[in-house]
Amino acid sequence: MKAAPSVKNATSAAETPGSLAAEVLPGNALVAGLRAEAEHAEAAGHRELARRRYESALYLLRGPMQAADASVILRRIGRLYFDEGDFAAGVDCLTAALATAEALGDTALVAYANNVMAIGHWQRGMLQEAEQLYGAAYRAARECADTKLAAMVDQNLGIIANMQGDLSRALRHYEASLAGYRELGLDEFIGKLLANMGLAYADLERWDEAERIYQEALAICAACGDVSTALMVEGNRAEAQIARGFFTDARHVCERVLRRAQGLNDARAVAEAQKHLGVISREAGRMEDAERFLRIAFTSATAREDLLLAAEVAREQAELYSAMHRERETLQALNTSHRLFSELRAQRDLADVARRMRGLEQRFYDIVSAWARSIESKDPYTLGHCERVADYACAILRALDPDVSTLFWFRIGALLHDVGKINVPTDVLNKPGKLTPEERALMEGHPVAGVELLKDVEFPWDVLPMVRSHHERWDGKGYPDRLTGEAIPLHARVLALADVFDALTTDRPYRPAFSPQEALRMMREDSGGAFDPSLFPVFEKVVPGFQGFVAAVSGTTSQVKQAAA
């Protein structure tokens, strides 16, 4: 199972611990001591402690002579709030930092504050606003001949390019940033930058380059004492190792990250490590361990409102449940992941999220199709029935509405329409003669049984009316609810046409298949009885498009698949 690397662990460039003292004007000894403690805590990954120390230093500043100090410290506090996920508090601090810098007329201070404000915006998915702020910061950096700020902005523009899927542009920005940092000897910045470059190379599957860069980043982090960045780099390395199938190496890395992150109370790093350990355990066949790791990771991610991590963990849970043949839980986890990715896509126009959504929907389709086939395996006469019915029904719905936006989920519902037959004994399904009243009751109970199986699955689109009502008749003589006319959900009426047509044109234990022409004639005679008379003319127009493969009981051709895709 390949786990695609992501921009989620990209690190933006602002001031790093140890770089603050050179910018802040000399103050009293107590303020200087608090700043030093804050920098040390930040480097060690203790963000909350660092923020408290910066705030204490801020409260001690007095008068216009220390306004520049106040702007810088406010900027640092704002960045820490962003890292902790408190966007509103971060914006408040950065707004104050900007106002102070503008009042001083200090172009460099304004530019640094804009750079950090932009970081908060891209973390929230507001990429256009972030790029505008970065542009202003970059122009100011050139105006002031501030190589460090220019390098920081290049790094951050590289992150945005990565998020938008433009890896070549991202690497160009990263290389420009690296040149600036190296010119100034700013190793404390280079570690974070290399972590981002490694992600880009991993996305390109240039594994050796990614590993080389990660190793260089770790060496720099060790020399600088940057524990927080080192944890992130190790997590990125583990993800790349999992993608390459190097599970033992990845496990050792994750166990090391987990121990260190727990000691630092770094909830994000802990949850990431738990997710990776869940995937590694699953691939090793240790399903109980995998379930435990992934459950803990999901709980942590949702508690932190980390949508991307929660969506990824839910997808890995779906793969676990699929491997364990726990179909309903597989669908529940897939739906959870789909919902979370949908929320992310609404917030961020990210190429990475869009790609993951496409992959998720394909996996969803594969899981549902496999479940449908497993149900059909109980009855050799219906092998391929769900797939064909889904093709036919999608073609009908497309003819009704060429711009239909829910076709994918309609197809999912069509594939699942007979899921309740899993509760019907095989001898009843395959009985060549007339069913007894008890057997008929079992057979006619499959729509309700299907709804019971699926009721706890929160589909993005409501498929349950299709499952429950596809055996209702227009004249009210169907089952299970004896609905009449338009009280029958439209999508169930469409599905009924496809279901009956396939049933008539395939062999059954009690009769051979009818020809498509015979089936169409029989169904026409029942229009207004079994079928919606307003839909039947549409159905008749669509039928010639799939008559050519009616006899292919075990599969379908691409014709209707293309029409229904």
Please name the fold of domain 377-564: Hypothetical protein af1432 (1.10.3210)
Please name the residue ranges forming H helices in 265-383. Answer: 267-283, 287-303, 307-323, 327-347, 351-376
What integer is the mean pLDDT of 123-141? 85
Q: pLDDT digits over 479-538, tens only?
A: 999 999 999 999 999 999 999 999 898 887 778 888 888 999 999 999 999 999 999 999
For residue 18, give the 3-state DSSP assignment.
Answer: coil
**Helices and strands, counts by H and E, the chain:** 27, 0
In three-state secondary structure terms, 531 is strand
pLDDT for res 563: 34
* Tokens matching residue 377: 């395996």
- Mean pLDDT lowest among 143-147, 177-181, 248-252: 143-147
258-280: pLDDT as tens digits: 999 998 888 889 999 999 999 99
**CB contact at 8 A, 314 and 295:** no
The model's pTM: 0.65
**Which contacts (CB < 8 Å, 24+ apart) does range 85-88 have?**
85/304, 85/305, 85/306, 87/120, 87/123, 87/124
Contacts of 498 (CB under 8 A, 6+ apart): 388, 389, 390, 392, 393, 396, 414
Give me the residue spans of the domains in the chain: 377-564
Express each pLDDT in 20-73 by its tens digit: 444 444 457 888 889 899 988 888 888 889 999 999 999 888 777 788 989 999
